[in-house]
Every structure is written in structure tokens, then in C-alpha cells.
Structure 1
Amino acid sequence: MTFGYKNAANAYKTNSVNYASKEQLLLMLVDGAVKFAEIARQGMIDNQIQKAHNNIIKTQNIFFELIATLDVSAAGEWGSKLMSIYQFIVDRLGQANIKKSIEIMNEVIPLIQEVRDTWYEASKISKVAK
């Protein structure tokens, strides 16, 4: 029974990603960034250094993707500011990883959550505008 459930859950996740809109994919990415950053912090707390490292890398990779896909020329001033925020997060995550600093993670996780919340709010506003 469990095997069938896991297959169904994996199929659902795969289909969710394969058939998601760009907006939905963005929201999935920022949700993942929050999740991986929190797992990394917990890894540091638990002295599971490899777990912390792997999840910081996952979080950074999400922000590298966000940086790569942000069209600053089309987004204007807010795009430049968003790019700066993304780069700041990547840099602080790198410092947290090098130092294995829970304090830096405690600083950057709320910022990552704020990025996520902002994108969710923008999604709601765009749905109302349509």
C-alpha cells in the first residue's frame, strides 16, 4: 500500500512541475528556497555539517536560477533592486556555509521568506488584475 502511495505522490510532483505555469514554477522555487534554508539551519544546529552544506547549496542554486531568469532591463528599477537582494542572499548563504553560522542563517532566512511572500502577493495581485 505504501509503495503505491509513494508512486502516486511522485507522479503528482512530477506532473505539478511539468505542467506548471511560469508563475507557479517561480512560487515552487521560492517555497523550496525557504525549505532548504531552514533544513540547512537545522543541520547546523544538529551539527550535521554535510546536510547543512547540501541544503545551502540547493538554496543558492535556486537564487542563481532566479538571478539568471530576471530580466532587469524589462523590470526597471525594481528589477535592479531585486537583483541586489538576490545577490545579497547568495553572498550571505556562502558566508554562512563557510562559517557554519547559525546567526547568518537566522539573518537570511527571514529575507528569503520575505522574497517568497512578496512573490505570492504579486501572484495574487496579477490574478485580480486579469
Structure 2
Amino acid sequence: EYLNIKCTSYNDNVIVQYVAKILEFTVPLMKSASSSIIYSLEGSLTKLLLVSGQLVIHSSIACLSAAIRLSKNYPLVKDVFMRYHSFVIQCQEKIIEKPNEEFKGTAQLARSIYILGVLCKYFDVEKSEYDDLE
């Protein structure tokens, strides 16, 4: 539930960040956890990527990596990676098409690049589980 609180202040962000950090270290110890709990956790963590700041994003992806190691839900990682990667490619194409025009999606582009970088830090995207990533 703490991962689903609406972050309206700095303190809210710090709470969510530390909850994700605590879960990152406790999830691997939950060997007999039900799959519904793990999938719910994965869903909450991926939602945080859309609305949170850098520190929460980093903690969320670190926790997500612990949950994925337990659930082996590699398609989720592929989906998240491809969602942000395709956005970066679309932005690149827009910028190349009209280099003199001001690009308006700078904040979302920066967020997407940051998320991709943190995903690459915690997930080895060159492994066989991610063969269809290009």
C-alpha cells in the first residue's frame, strides 16, 4: 500500500523510496510468497516509473529486479524496456526530421533515457531471456 500513495511532497517521495529499498532486500527472502503478491508488487513498481522522480525510479527498478528474479516474469521487463525504448526512438526520429524546430518532449525524453539506463544497470538485457530486444 505504501507504494501506491500519491506523492505530493518531498517526504512522500522519501517514504516511497525507502519502502522500495526495504522491499528490495526482503523480497528475495520471501521464497514461498504467492505469485499474486509478487505480480501486484511488480505492477505497483512499474506504475511508479510513470510518475516518480529519479530516486524513486531507481529504488523501484532495483526492487523490481528482486521481484523479477523471484517470479521469472521476464516479459514484464521486455515490455517496460520496449515502451521506453520506442519512445526514445520516436523522439530521435522527430528531432532528425525537423532539427530546427523546438522539441517539446524534453522532460519525458530525459525520464525515458534515465529509466532505460537504470533498467540496463539491474537487468542484463543481453541475456537469452531478452533475445527479442533490438
Fold-level similarity (TM above 0.5): no
The two structures have a TM-score, normalised by structure 1, of 0.34
User: Counting helix residues as a fraction of each chain, which structure ranks higher?
Assistant: 1
